[in-house]
Amino acid sequence: MARLSDVIEKFIKSLLEESEGELELQRNELADYFECAPSQINYVLATRFSVSHGYYIESRRGGGGYIRIVCLDVDKNNFLHYLVSEGIGSRITEHDALHIVQRLLEQNYIAPKSAGLIKSAITDKAIGIPSTLKDTIRANILKSMITAVMAWQGK
């Protein structure tokens, strides 16, 4: 079965496109529309629209309350540079690393093939060895690959 959370995610993203990266919505209304618990909206926002996903959320409670989602626009080079110099750090989990690559893909900083290539290099399975060193190695490789991407400028 298709996950409801994924459907809601897509829905919000399509709304965001129509409204040029900024959007205000009503939590209960949306929950009603999808016939789910209101807190599921929070779940979707937390797991798919966090800052690390490239979004910023603000909200207000009480009568006339709302949730506003803003699509952050970051400069590609700044972002890549930030990742290599501080974002990734000296160790990174598989989950966090894949998340970064997915973001690079969604922001169109890299092509799907490149994303696939990078992802394939940083999974636990790829690295193979069972050791705490894994996260260190992964960080090194990911930074190295992103550095290669930075060097692509203009082909």
Partner DNA sequence: AATAATGAAGGTCAAAGAAAGTCAAAACAG
Partner DNA sequence: CTGTTTTGACTTTCTTTGACCTTCATTATT
Q: How far apart are CA 63 and CA 141, in angstroms?
A: 50
Q: How many residues at the interface with DNA, by CB under 7 A? A: 30
User: Any contact of residue 66 with DNA (CB under 7 A)?
Assistant: yes
Which residue stretch of 11-19, 36-44, 82-90, 113-121 sits at the interface with DNA (rule: CB under 7 A)? 36-44
Binding mask 71-100 for a copy of itself (x = CB under 8 A): ------------------------------
Binding site for a copy of itself (CB under 8 A): 1-3, 6, 63-64, 112-114, 116-121, 123, 125-129, 131, 133, 136-137, 140-141, 144-145, 147-149, 151-152, 155
